[in-house]
Amino acid sequence: MVKVNDEMIDFVLPDSNGNNVSISDFSDKTVIVYFYSKDNTSGCTCQALEYKKLYKEFTELNTVVIGISKDSIESHKKFISKNELPFILLSDVNKDVINKYDVFKEKNMYGKKVMGVLRSSFIIRDGKYIKVTYNTKSNLDAINNLDFLKNN
């Protein structure tokens, strides 16, 4: 499990255009990496739209927003287009990074236990985690992270 002050876990994943992206590409910025379960589901769309709504404020704070799910590049491309998302979505179809960040967990969905991506976010600055949130709420993740960055 990732904790505050841990060294950043670096990785390379494809974005919605098939270009490889690494967290270390943004070493001069603060980075929010958020994990979500699936494009075009209600909670995940809500979360993405909250980040979109606050995106200008994040950029003013020299912060890059990156969403990661196990969806395909093509799925991300459609999700970005449909919702006019201004930030990066990365595809982790093999769950390599999802597993490194320990966010693939047993969840309770409609009374059934299933394995899935636990909605989580990580704020990275200077190669270390400065905020770690497992099991965050879709409608509060972006604003909570923005408030944290404004005060830290």
Q: Which residues are catalytic?
A: 44
Continuous segment of H or E residues that includes residue 14: strand 12-14
User: Euclidean distance between the first and final Cα of the chain, in Å?
Assistant: 23
Q: Which of 40, 83, 45, 54 is closest to 142 using CA atoms? A: 54
Q: 30-35 and 120-125: which strand pairing?
A: antiparallel
CB 121 within 8 A of CB 95: no
Q: 12-14 and 88-91: which strand pairing?
A: unpaired
Tokens in use for 129? 């985690």
3-state SS, residue 12:
strand
- CA R_g for the chain: 14
